[in-house]
Amino acid sequence: MDGDERLRLGVDRVSAALLEIVEELGVTEHELRAALGFLAEVSQAGQLPLLADVLGVSVAVDNLTHGAQHQGTASSVEGPFYRPGAPLRAQICRDDEPGDVCFVSGRVTDAATGAPLPGVLLDVWQAGAGGKYEHEDPEQPDYNLRGRLYTDEEGSYELRTVVPPPYEIPQGPVNRLLMTVGRNRFRPAHLHVKLSCQGYEPRTTQLFLEGGAHLDDDTIGAVKPELTGRLEKHDDPEELSRRGLDRPFFTYAYDFALVPSASREGAGDGS
Ligand code: MBD
Ligand code: FE
């Protein structure tokens, strides 16, 4: 099926789905105008991607695109808040960043052979302890809590950040809609990671915190159990001084695996 034909089919199906809703609910002229006004407002606010997220569409497309792949680290949606060009650095926030210091570390391996992968680029981003991403918070410096780093010769990485907070969908029409219909407006705490390496399929995913709030009712439904890891608290004075810290810190360990790009077609995963 070519692109035009897929578009025609898509328009047909959207029309049919909308007609079914109009008839089932007996939609009034006033409600239709309100719905169109709402969409215009969402567009104006630049929140159309966010609307696709909370309607569950982004996760459904991600699962269709990457769900059949049984090898390597599971994917999760990129979300609306990625910014390319983050600084190359292993500490992605200020020394005195609000929140609990957290070292995230692990290894990246070849999903087919288990061999460690040096030179993998990790592009990471997250919200600050106040619950906002840098670009929506005038208190944070440009590119705060965003950074890129490479795995070393052993395929290992370690980055310094703060423990991410649960995240409320930003103020605006999408948040208001969720509030009005009594739906959860929060996402669980998460760290976004994009991994890339020559010869491997790039992987975009998110890491979650075991036992955290909203793991079971993520407003966009993006949580996967295998993307959840445990925070460990460290308050031993010797350890603190070794890290040059004057307050307890946390560690979070997560290992990634990337799928070789060549082996994908021939892998025979049934798709
Ligand atoms: C987020 O922080 C996010 O990561 C996604 C995917 C959607 C809304 C807010
Ligand atoms: Fe996010």
Window from 48-62, 181-195, 251-265 with minimum mean pLDDT: 251-265
Average pLDDT (93-112) is 98
Ligand 1 surroundings by CB, under 6 angstroms:
50, 53, 77, 79-81, 167, 187, 220, 222
Residue 113 predicted with pLDDT over 90: yes
Question: Which residue owns the Cα nearest ligand 1 atom 6?
Answer: 79
Measured distance CA(39)–CA(44) in Å, rounded: 8
Residue 66 predicted with pLDDT over 60: yes
What is the model's pLDDT at position 267?
46
> How sure is the predictor about 67, in pLDDT bands with cuts at 50, 70 and 90?
confident
Residue 269 predicted with pLDDT over 80: no
Q: What is the mean pLDDT of the chain?
A: 95
| CA of residue 178 relative to chain centroid, distance | 20
Average pLDDT (101-107) is 98
Average pLDDT (128-150) is 97
What is the model's pLDDT at position 3?
86
Question: Which residue owns the Cα nearest ligand 1 atom 5?
Answer: 79
Entry pTM: 0.93
Q: Virtual CA dihedral for 156, 161, 167, 169, nearest 10 degrees? A: -90
Say which residue, 264 or 117, is predicted with more confidence: 117
Helix axes 173-180, 29-44, angle to 10 degrees: 140
Residue 270 predicted with pLDDT over 50: no
In ligand 1, which atom is closest to the CA atom of 76? 6
Could you give the percent of the chain with pLDDT greater than 90? 94
Could you give the percent of the chain with pLDDT greater than 70? 96
Q: Which of 192, 220, 223 gets mutated to test ligand 1 (max ligand atoms within 8 A of its CB)?
A: 220
- The alpha carbon of 120 and the centre of ligand 2 are apart by a number of angstroms equal to 22
In DSSP terms, which residues pair with 132 in a beta bridge? none
